[in-house]
Amino acid sequence: MVLEECPFCHRFLAAQLVSREEVDTGEILKEKDVIFRMGISIETGERIADQPEAFITYKFTYRCKDCGKEWTKFSVKEVGLPEEYVQDELE
């Protein structure tokens, strides 16, 4: 799968996805300035920091097919609560 441009050599459509793994959101947040590197707004970042178990974080590793350098990106997705839990709270 070929995606966006390489941040090193800036070749367009040169990034290849090497791996995708689910990582612990709480552990990722311990890294310095990770919220800003993930491109997450401060408001959303505070929500993630307050309830890391409510989010799934994926770590993507890319390699440039031209220069061969690798880099990582993160993606955070909010986990929806099962409908039964929401109904129980409402009652």
- Distance, CA of 58 to CA of 61 (rounded, Å): 10
More confident residue, 84 or 62: 62
Sign of the C-alpha dihedral computed for residues 8, 10, 14 and 17 taken in this order: positive
- Is residue 63 predicted with pLDDT exceeding 90? yes
Instruction: Report domain extents, the chain.
Output: 2-90
Pairing of strands 70-78, 15-23: unpaired
Q: Write out pLDDT tens, residues 78-91.
A: 886 555 554 555 55
Predicted pLDDT at 87: 54
Please, what is the average pLDDT of the chain? 77
DSSP state of 54: G
